[in-house]
Amino acid sequence: MTITTAPIRNGVDTAQVYGTLDALKDQPDLARFEFRASNRWINGPHSRSTIHGFWGAGQEDASREAPFVVDASEPPVLFGHNEAPNPAEYLLHALAGCLTLTIVNVAAARKVELTEVTSTLAGVLDARGATGLDDSYRNGFERIRVAFSIKGDATPEKLQEIVERAKARSVVYDIVSNPVPVDVVTEVR
Amino acid sequence: MTITTAPIRNGVDTAQVYGTLDALKDQPDLARFEFRASNRWINGPHSRSTIHGFWGAGQEDASREAPFVVDASEPPVLFGHNEAPNPAEYLLHALAGCLTLTIVNVAAARKVELTEVTSTLAGVLDARGATGLDDSYRNGFERIRVAFSIKGDATPEKLQEIVERAKARSVVYDIVSNPVPVDVVTEVR
């Protein structure tokens, strides 16, 4: 009798993951991804992004019937009305989501069943930077602290190693930790 | 007769802005901000962040009665079910929202009334990096393109200059363009 391993682990279809890796080895042009967002100012610090299509795996994605719509704003102390989280908080959310899904994918590939992954993130900054009051402070976060709590059917060492591997492979961790060139062009209407 | 300038411009209370800058000059410890997010894994690449309190202007903020709750996931080609935008897309949203509100604040300070600010953002990456197939590619975006369209009661030169100033002062633009140290600690349960 053959025992077949269940291919879904941590909600990840591991057969699909290995199939994708094989396809990328054979056709490296499938690895090109372009993600997008469109934004429109509403009032004060309040704006709204629309997120829909992207290019990836050799084609324009058509899996999303409707766009995602997400707002950003500021609390009153930063001149808004709490219409939505602020951009720096969304950046922490992006980092949390990316590290978490990378942990989950790495664990699935290493045959580890996770039962819990939670994290708390904090980013500190001195507003004298962004306000232009004192250029000895940077505009953005001086540093970000991430605290993970993780539970699964593996030794503590293996679970720690999975988090380390996720750090080494996370898209957003790389973007935040290292410089990304940003080209801004402006059309005046 | 004294002509009083309307203090609300672009939805920004300019009197509040100048009051805040004066307060920061007098009490620099008010400039310290700590923003936070807590995240919990749901299934596969799907996770959920809760964003509520923050420290700023010398105290723990109490302006938000309820937390903001935002999900992140992936499309099917990246092993999810489109439960929400993916982390890289949220990062673009964070960048768009931050540049936009900084443009709006700078314009308000310079007595420019804006009527429209829209932007489209695109970030490209090669998934051979994050998958570990080829270390000559980075995990994150190779570059990000931002295209603004802006309309207001100022010369084209002045509007261009406002966007340049916003780039030089944006919190998230700095975080993305320059390295931020990220400390990750893991508790195994």
Task: Judge: A104–B169 Cβ closer than 8 Å, yes or no.
Answer: no
The partner residue sitting opposite B36, judged by closest CB among A75, A120, A178, is A120
| Min distance A177 CA to chain B CA atoms (Å) | 5
pTM (2 decimals)?
0.97
| Min distance A61 CA to chain B CA atoms (Å) | 9
Count Cβ atoms below 10 Å from residue B100 Cβ, excluding itself. 29
- Tabulate helix, strand, coil % of chain B (nearest 5): 35, 30, 35
| Min distance B2 CA to chain A CA atoms (Å) | 27
pLDDT tens profile B84-131: 999 999 999 999 999 999 999 999 999 999 999 999 999 999 999 999
The residue among A20, A178, A53, A56 whose CA lies nearest residue B124 is: A56
The residue among A175, A52, A170 whose CA lies nearest residue A101 is: A170
State the average pLDDT over residues A145-170: 98
pLDDT tens profile B150-183: 999 999 999 999 999 999 999 999 999 999 999 9
The question of ipTM being above 0.85 is answered as yes
Give the whole-angstrom CA distance, residue A49 versus residue A67: 10
State the average pLDDT over residues A53-68: 97
The residues facing A124 across adjacent strands are A143, B34
The partner residue sitting opposite B63, judged by closest CB among A82, A160, A179, is A82
Let me know: does A186 contact B160? Beta carbons within 8 Å.
Answer: yes
The answer, yes or no, to whether residue A2 has pLDDT greater than 70, is no
Residue-level pLDDT at A89: 99
The partner residue sitting opposite A171, judged by closest CB among B88, B104, B159, is B88
Residue-level pLDDT at B7: 84
